[in-house]
Structure 1
């Protein structure tokens, strides 16, 4: 790909806080698709005083696309980086520093030049790292909930509080998944099918309970691939779904979104108390027994897991969905026993 040398040099000036006069570069695709790609840019930069500086920097290019029920999401990360939201983070919980951001309105595309953070991510995260991520998330959301910094009122491009509910209702209205779990052809165990049906039958009451929880700034894609643990701290990438949501909504993603299936129940019991502990450092919340994380997991991921199962191309992928459902059911069982 062609990289503008002047933009690279400007970004490296910001990165090193030095007068960079030249740089070579190589690129490696980290993540790519039809509407966006993320590349690692590496090379040697030279400062005005002759210093040779090896560098790694991330270039994210995002084209316009439309997410159901959230049409502004394609450019949200650019808008957030252009705001003062970065000032709300702490050393222990933050996003990667942005060295340069530009948007091309005519081509419906933006570029972000971002800090590269070398750390542990994805399924390499340990239980302690999960727990710390939950704790720091709780602290961050609790701090913003209490302090209500002015920047929150100035953010106009955020997903809405009813995004989770509307997405669930949209999935529930889809015969492809709704009818399948009620059909004679359904291959899920009966207790899994009943778990999903019970959520549907009690959805109004469950959603009413959730909507009484504190409204907080959510990342809304708080899953292991977007978390980076480095030097005892948490960094969080991919903010395009960020918006207002309910206490615990991000925990559903941390625990259930393509997570470590074998440890899901353990992480559930570790992360929920850690999250509440972090939030309660800033304000009192309703007793932890009243949390709705189990219900949020099923509302957000229940029908998604059914869809993944039905679209899976091999038995191993199908079994991942079945095993995930089994672990969610074990969470419910452990709650009843507790």
Structure 2
């Protein structure tokens, strides 16, 4: 993590606390999040000009340059967003963390974002009602942008491309290690699950033809439970560095299947998609869409990834941990299979 300077910290805290800060102490603690970034909770007591002391919590996210497959500028996307007027697109009930200061170190190819600390319910602690609320709020957000087409959003250059999801799937499908494994006699994944994955491959052209008829919307593209916080009746969404143009429902696939609540996956599928469509429909008429393609999107986005995770489970770990991880990934694939059978 880059060194925290007293000058920057007092400047940031003055903005956050709404009063001039002359000095402060601080401690840092790593936070979960930022797969390729460094996320720290910074806490301490700040001294005001009248010698008052104010406790504070703030988050510092440091992101070094890296190249994500098919999306090389994603490392600086949140910086670009926070520098723009993107925040004006949110509502009181659905937003991102407020930002107090951003910096770009051109020599180091590194960004620093000082942002609000969110104290809320997240991850597997989210309830079914919170899942449903998040789905509806996202649908409302995407529907509003789809209907209004704000000019400045169209002018943003650093957004992931509409074919990102398709390229991601084709990249995995071309990887012989996973492609050959589910077709091999040595594969330990149940045959009905392998067939489910193979069927998607064999029908991919027809499936993409259906998906590409769906509305193109602004997708978060990392809409999974660890990035969703529920606080005071509001939904706050973290980590916007994969955001870009995609198809209606892509984010629902992530919400349902990306390391989510496996035991309730089928229930949440049936609860969240109608909620998502309800939110979107407040701004745009999508009554003609009878094929939401979310089941197919789940398999395109997570099918081979789950196979990879299964194959890599327990690398260097104890045998029991390996078995537990593999069971988890098979269980997830089984739940996806059950979704198909209930459609």
- Indicate the TM-score class for this superposition, using the shorter chain for normalisation: over 0.9
- 2:34–2:239 Cα contact (<8 Å) kept: no
TM-score in terms of structure 2 length: 0.95
Which position in structure 2 is the counterpart of 1:78? 79
TM-superposed deviation, 1:6: 1.0
The Cα offsets for residues 220-260 of structure 1, whole Å up to 9 and x where unpaired, read as 00000011110011001111100000000001101100001
The Cα offsets for residues 306-335 of structure 1, whole Å up to 9 and x where unpaired, read as 000000010100011100011001100110
Separation in 2, partners of 1:51, 1:204: 65
For residue 179 of structure 1, give the secondary structure of its aligned residue in structure 2.
helix
Which position in structure 2 is the counterpart of 1:114? 115
- Listed as ranges, the matches of 1:239-254 within 5 Å are 239-254=240-255
- Listed as ranges, the matches of 1:174-185 within 5 Å are 174-185=175-186
- 2:143–2:280 Cα contact (<8 Å) kept: yes
For residue 62 of structure 2, give the secondary structure of its aligned residue in structure 1.
strand
2:28 equivalent to 1:27: yes
For residue 70 of structure 2, give the secondary structure of its aligned residue in structure 1.
coil
Which position in structure 1 is the counterpart of 2:140? 139
The Cα offsets for residues 164-195 of structure 1, whole Å up to 9 and x where unpaired, read as 00000000000100000000011111110111
Cα RMSD, aligned residues only: 1.3
Separation in 2, partners of 1:196, 1:286: 30
The Cα offsets for residues 249-293 of structure 1, whole Å up to 9 and x where unpaired, read as 001101100001000000000000000000000011144641010
TM-superposed deviation, 1:24: 1.0
TM-superposed deviation, 1:47: 1.7
Give unpaired runs (5+ residues) of structure 1: none
4+ long deviations beyond 6 Å: none
TM-superposed deviation, 1:28: 0.5
- Listed as ranges, the matches of 1:93-172 within 5 Å are 93-172=94-173
Separation in 1, partners of 2:245, 2:289: 21
The Cα offsets for residues 124-143 of structure 1, whole Å up to 9 and x where unpaired, read as 11100000000000000000
Separation in 1, partners of 2:260, 2:35: 25
Count of residues in Structure 1 that have an aligned counterpart in Structure 2: 335
Separation in 2, partners of 1:139, 1:51: 43
Which position in structure 2 is the counterpart of 1:325? 333
- 1:276–1:288 Cα contact (<8 Å) kept: no
- 2:140–2:280 Cα contact (<8 Å) kept: yes
Which position in structure 2 is the counterpart of 1:42? 43
For residue 30 of structure 2, give the secondary structure of its aligned residue in structure 1.
strand
- 1:31–1:37 Cα contact (<8 Å) kept: no
Which position in structure 1 is the counterpart of 2:323? 315
For residue 107 of structure 1, give the secondary structure of its aligned residue in structure 2.
coil
